[in-house]
Amino acid sequence: MSLGNLVLIGVALFAILGAVGAFTIAFRRSQIDQPVDLADPTAGVSSETLKADKSMSGVRVEPLPVPVVEETVDEVEVEVEVEVEVEVEEPELVSTAIRVVETQRVVEVSPEEAGVTRRQFFNRAMNVTFFSFLGIMGINSLAFFWPKLSGGFGTDVDAGALADVKKQVFASDGSIIPLFVPEAKAYVVPAPANLSEQYIGKQVETDGLMALWQRCVHLGCRVPWCGPSVGFECPCHGSKYSSVGEYFAGPAPRNLDRFTVEIRNGRFIIQTGNIIQTARAPFMTVKYPQGPSCIGASTTSEA
Ligand code: FES
């Protein structure tokens, strides 16, 4: 047998096997496409499978009845939450950095930081007001207690030119009119020719004049001049003094107090810082009273 004959025989066998295979595949497909009997559980199962499953031979499985439930569907409002995903673009790093720098610039120039806040303003205003009040009170208190070094009561008071003072004290008709000096709170009166020994060496008289403190030595009332009696009479409790301040009557414990005096550059100076106190006069160096009393009290001396 030649090689050519062998090839022809092989090709013929190959063609026969191919034809058998194609026929078999076509037959199988024709079986699958046929309608399936739903009552038969083995319908559609291949013959090979049925042959392999010997245990199931002769068993018929009836399909279970499916209960039919009639449901009444009401209208139900169903809230449906829909989640929507929104893509937010994150700021770019470069733009955030720029925004921060801009914010810092605003803070730097803000009055809240660079200036004064409202609370700070009110706190400072209250502090300034409080300490100003304390300062003013302190200055006023210091001024009140500070001793006067010039002018006013407690210092040397200029009562005026000596000639003018004498002209006012000694009236042209020979009467006496004490000169009241408000700044010294004193009366300038004529000094007696026979000055009591109580006043010798105490500088209470100069050039025929003396200065009496207007304050009553009893309880401090202002003692006015009484022209008719030519003396000083206290309206508070009736103490009476002569024209030179010597005690005459009443509860006063001593003569009227007086100040040292001097003539300085032709002017009569009352040294109100030097107060001279003397006991009740042992005798009157001037006549008192010379007329009716102004307060209607006793006109006789109690000494
Ligand atoms: S105060 Fe002058 S008599 Fe009393």
Helices within 58-215 (DSSP H only): 93-109, 111-114, 118-145, 162-169
pLDDT at 38: 58
Q: Which atom of ligand 1 is nearest to the CA of 237?
A: 3
Average pLDDT, stretch 89-94?
Answer: 56
Residue whose CA lies nearest to ligand 1 atom number 1? 219
- Of residues 94 and 283, the one with the higher pLDDT is 283
Strand order across the beta sheet in which 225-226 lies: 225-226, 231-233, 240-242, 247-249
**251 close to ligand 1 (CB < 6 Angstrom):** yes
Angle at 124 between CA 120 and CA 125, to 5 degrees: 115
pLDDT at 131: 93
Among 19-28, 199-208, 292-301, the range scoring the smallest mean pLDDT is: 292-301
Cα(241) to ligand 1 centroid in Å equals 11
**224 close to ligand 1 (CB < 6 Angstrom):** no
**C-alpha dihedral (170, 171, 173, 177), degrees to nearest 10:** -90
Contact 228, 291 (CB under 8 A): yes
Q: How many CB atoms sit inside 10 A of residue 97's CB?
A: 11
Residue whose CA lies nearest to ligand 1 atom number 3? 237
Nearest alpha-carbon partner for 242 in 170, 293, 197, 199: 293
**Distances in whole angstroms, Cα of residue 89 to Cα of each of 43, 86, 92, 97:** 61, 9, 8, 16
Q: Which atom of ligand 1 is nearest to the CA of 251?
A: 3
Nearest alpha-carbon partner for 226 in 260, 198, 249, 192: 249
Contact 194, 203 (CB under 8 A): no
**297 close to ligand 1 (CB < 6 Angstrom):** no
**234 close to ligand 1 (CB < 6 Angstrom):** yes
Domains of the chain: 156-276 (2.102.10.10)
Average pLDDT, stretch 80-95?
Answer: 56
Contact 241, 138 (CB under 8 A): no
The 8-class DSSP code of residue 279 comes to B
| Residue 28: pLDDT over 70 | no
**116 close to ligand 1 (CB < 6 Angstrom):** no
Give tens-digit pLDDT for 41-72: 566 666 666 676 665 555 555 556 666 555 55
- Of residues 273 and 145, the one with the higher pLDDT is 273
Angle at 170 between CA 243 and CA 205, to 5 degrees: 55
Name 232's bridge partners: 225, 241
pLDDT at 165: 96
Cα(300) to ligand 1 centroid in Å equals 17
pLDDT at 10: 79
Q: Which atom of ligand 1 is nearest to the CA of 239?
A: 3
Contact 284, 271 (CB under 8 A): no
**C-alpha dihedral (38, 44, 47, 52), degrees to nearest 10:** -70
Give tens-digit pLDDT for 173-223: 888 899 999 999 999 999 998 888 888 899 999 999 999 999 999 999 999
**The residue to which tokens 């013959």 are assigned:** 47
Q: Which two tokens stand for residue 223?
A: 């003692």
- CA separation for the pair 182, 102 (Å, rounded): 77
Give tens-digit pLDDT for 67-87: 655 555 455 454 555 555 656
Q: How much is the pTM?
A: 0.54
pLDDT at 110: 63
